[in-house]
A and B are shown apart, each in its own frame.
Chain A
């Protein structure tokens, strides 16, 4: 793991990996979304609105994967003091929040014709809305911690602890439809079997892979930006002192 503790080595890797992830992710997700929009047959009950599945479900996965990234990076930061972990955690927050927001918006649009309501306060919807608010809190906290760096504050550690504590929401989101009666349907895809017909399942899985690659590319891009910002600040400070 400490092979990448050196930011220079990480930056060399990120320089070619980032465009690769972004381009392959865009190609895969555009292909899957177009196929889902134009080729896939309408659902037996939902009709055409089933097509929103190909955006909604991958976004939901990435909203949760985003916070899992934050939690794992926070753990690495707190225990091993890995210099890139704090940056990785901070870089995952904005794309994670964006996918969470997309998931909530598309779900709401789908719910209106399907359930007959834009929003209900059931376990799944409420816990996912809390995830969005956790992201907002994390982004605000990490921003404050970064501004606090000059005065040598422990803000990064507080941010990391918040990232770890917030992870408790992830299993709650995952289990919410199993533990509690909810309007949201139970999971369609569980280990080894799927209640989604093959014609819907394949474009869904490809879209999920494509979205994940885009997510990875955006995280790498943001890590490069954050590293450059830190470097600039350090240089300016040296200049001011020198």
Chain B
């Protein structure tokens, strides 16, 4: 065999694994739709998305996932309220204020925070945080949307901090120098020059943090309380889409309407996370172009 032939063969061989990730993504889409769409034989899309009652095993069953969608959004919102200010402030501190030595020791710690498995966060929330929340707010049990938001907020911080930090570090040095030359101090430069310039990147960070929280399963399953009703306050137990799938798939018989309904929830979940990710992708590309 000639050398060039062999080279081409090798190239073709490597093309296969590269295309696998797109293949898996398509595979996930196909599987979700194949197993999820049959639910719409027994319920309409409108009833499914906006129905207020999730009683999948009653006779007759009801498959309204509005309480679950609202549950997911409530804890995601709560988590962002905690993680965005802390995460962005941490990123500014690390990239603009901290000395190089401190910076080098904080960054791995934040990476470790990202490395803690979600089940450990859930466990910590159950045994340590929930009882405290119950005591402070005088509740019977501490497993509710508030506790879940608190834990999810901590979980989203590493994502938000590390991506924001990249964005802030990407702001060209000459921006800062120009600001100092005009007589601004460091704080004014951060607020008026660096943050606006890094805004696109920070938005990307927030969206990716949001996607992380929104798709999180074990923590909410363990900490959020698990009631599939439309939440009225942060101190009520809620159930998210992810937690519903995790809690009920074990009991759902393959091929039953319950089984299809759970896959249909996964379609909703998938479509929403996909849009988060695509949005983040577009924003980060625009951000990079702007900073040139």
Partners in one complex: no
Which of B's residues lie within 8 Å of A, judged by CB? Answer: none
Interface residues of A (CB under 8 A from B): none
